[in-house]
Structure 1
């Protein structure tokens, strides 16, 4: 597959932030922006093609996670899907079941949803610590669940470190104690095999712009029988849980991207990405001996993500020095006019100095060996200018 011209410069190593839109996805969308403008809810002929397209996309999205299309609820973003899963579950529960368990390295949309439930509805939330590798210990979860626990929400893989959580083990503990389980799988669906029967989850978040569809479209898998309070009230679309006329072009894009990703997974692309990631790491280790430290579990992590700290550097300054040639993320975030270390790294026990020297390099569909080698050269050259730590 040809590398899109827009990605040739700078070298794009920020696929976890967002993926470029695949041209095949654009082609699938276009008819629903031009030839088929009808409302899927319309009873006349102009609603037929959009309605059929939405149904087909629902099946495509369900298929990539081993579910029925009937269990897929389309949303406007992963953050919205997470809010529907968390707030929807709690607000549909009885007053006797108002305890939620999550963990400190979740996506901000999960943490903010939980905090809003604490603030507005008096819900008790337990925030689990992670170990130095960024993983939740199932035993710790088993110790905090109570008869009041209605939901456990633990992400499938972390967006910064790529660390994969033991979701199946955690879900089993939740179910044994009568709680539902939600996982934010924004970073895993389409990147590695994901199966809701194997994970045994009740709710699972899927995000389009993490797998080569446009921004503004996502989905929530809901196990049959799970009750949710709607996130948007209105005309009854999306099983009455998310009112509003469907974004047909976006829905088609998500369905198409799911089908393309499923084919790619079947072809062994995940292993190819793992080899590219490891090649990038080896090049950096060779160029910067003793200065490269991987953050997060080395075994349980996504094949396309390298989160590493470079001793003796400031990652923001390093990226600024390469900004016209390399697009990547760092281990700090803008906050109140300054920068703060990543909360994810802090929760893992990474000190401020090391966090500020952290880069997140994430590769994807159009990353080549040449990209990896050039990126390693750019990073190592910039880092060398700092000298030995």
Structure 2
């Protein structure tokens, strides 16, 4: 069968060598970043270096970068208690705090009438569909777009955005909320003055160091074109899996998407069944967002786009990365098509 092939990069990415090295360096620092002695100042310098690295990678120079435990906490800090609106295609970390009143069309694009009262993702984790962010948007989930497509926070025109380290080759358990300079935001975790008074608690020094190094490396990879071969492989797989006349649909094919994401719908073949069969065949894929794919239910993202219950429950997500070779992708395609043919033969 050969070695396993990881095709779930939107869920989490392999740890970068640069991040690992930075984390090992941070492990040797004893100081608390809030202490004023030499040890504390060295720890503080590491945090501020990482803050500058993340800000530069995001195009957020001059904005406030607040380190938190991940995108979920950042979403809560940005959205909770503000009466914001969102669409049903948003990640649950956002929709948990917002009223799902924004309309979604069949192509997955969201209409925003009141940007200052709305939260809107830049890229969807399940379909890869990219949104056009309106000027003055209150909050944007930048998590999936970060490191995959070029953008700059300072050009987006939104008040706040957030990202997560483990989506760009950094460690799990650390993320950042980016806030337009001068914007007032009350802390939800209180008890200290850390992170400019926005998030109390001793900083996760090791995770933050890894995040900064990963952000710098991710920005470099994007500038050097490392995602172009990923896009080409995604398109090869899309053609092989959807253009053979056997009824598999590629969601979002007609609109701009992330270069690595392919959402396949094969009506009548449950997504979780496909995930299990591919896992046994040596391939890591998912049936949707990693935060919800463990729950046996139809994708609410696809339902919001107008797909029926059966179609929305028959989705498989492939999310590639620069470490995936064409040979590995084609090996997956062969295994998946064999499994689909077996499923159809049994259902006939």
TM-score, normalising length from structure 1? 0.83
Cα distance, 1:269 vs structure 2: 1.6
Q: Between 317-326 and 376-385, report the one with greater CA deviation.
A: 317-326
Instruction: Give the secondary structure class of the aligned counterpart of 2:178.
Output: strand
Q: Given the alignment, which residue of 252, 257, 261 partners 1:301?
A: 257
Cα distance, 1:314 vs structure 2: 2.4
Q: Given the alignment, which residue of 31, 41, 44 partners 2:34?
A: 41
Q: Given the alignment, which residue of 4, 16, 20 partners 1:10?
A: 4
Cα distance between partner residues in 2 of 1:372 and 1:312: 24
Cα distance, 1:58 vs structure 2: 0.5
Distance 1:332 1:73, change over 3 A: closer
Instruction: Give the secondary structure class of the aligned counterpart of 1:259.
Output: helix
Distance 1:126 1:321, change over 3 A: closer
Does the 8 Å CA contact 1:208/1:257 hold for their aligned counterparts? yes
Does the 8 Å CA contact 2:63/2:178 hold for their aligned counterparts? no
1:31 and 2:25 matched: yes
Instruction: Give the secondary structure class of the aligned counterpart of 1:294.
Output: strand
Instruction: Give the secondary structure class of the aligned counterpart of 1:341.
Output: coil
Does the 8 Å CA contact 1:103/1:127 hold for their aligned counterparts? yes
Distance 1:68 1:197, change over 3 A: closer
Cα distance between partner residues in 2 of 1:256 and 1:246: 16
Write out per-residue CA displacement over residues 344-374 of structure 1, whole angstroms, 9 at most, x where no aligned residue.
Answer: 0111111122222211000013111111011
Distance 1:307 1:165, change over 3 A: same
Question: What corresponds to 1:314 in structure 2?
Answer: 270
Cα distance, 1:17 vs structure 2: 0.8
Does the 8 Å CA contact 2:125/2:289 hold for their aligned counterparts? no
Cα distance, 1:331 vs structure 2: 5.0
Instruction: Give the secondary structure class of the aligned counterpart of 1:269.
Output: coil
TM-score, normalising length from structure 2? 0.92
Cα distance, 1:185 vs structure 2: 0.5
Cα distance between partner residues in 2 of 1:101 and 1:366: 37
Question: What corresponds to 2:124 in structure 1?
Answer: 158
Q: Given the alignment, which residue of 78, 85, 103 partners 1:129?
A: 103
Q: List 4+ stretches of structure 1 deviating above 6 A.
A: 332-335
Cα distance, 1:70 vs structure 2: 5.5
Does the 8 Å CA contact 2:63/2:179 hold for their aligned counterparts? no
Instruction: Give the secondary structure class of the aligned counterpart of 1:322.
Output: helix
Does the 8 Å CA contact 1:59/1:70 hold for their aligned counterparts? no
* Alignment map for 1:1-389 (pairs within 5 Å): 9-33=3-27, 35-68=28-61, 71-87=64-80, 90=82, 99-114=83-98, 125=99, 127-137=101-111, 141-142=112-113, 145=114, 151-167=117-133, 170=134, 172=135, 175=136, 181-285=138-242, 288-324=244-280, 325-331=282-288, 339-387=296-344
Long gaps (5+) in structure 1: 1-7, 91-98, 115-124
Distance 1:22 1:277, change over 3 A: same
Cα distance, 1:338 vs structure 2: 7.1
Cα distance between partner residues in 2 of 1:152 and 1:334: 22
More strand by share: 1
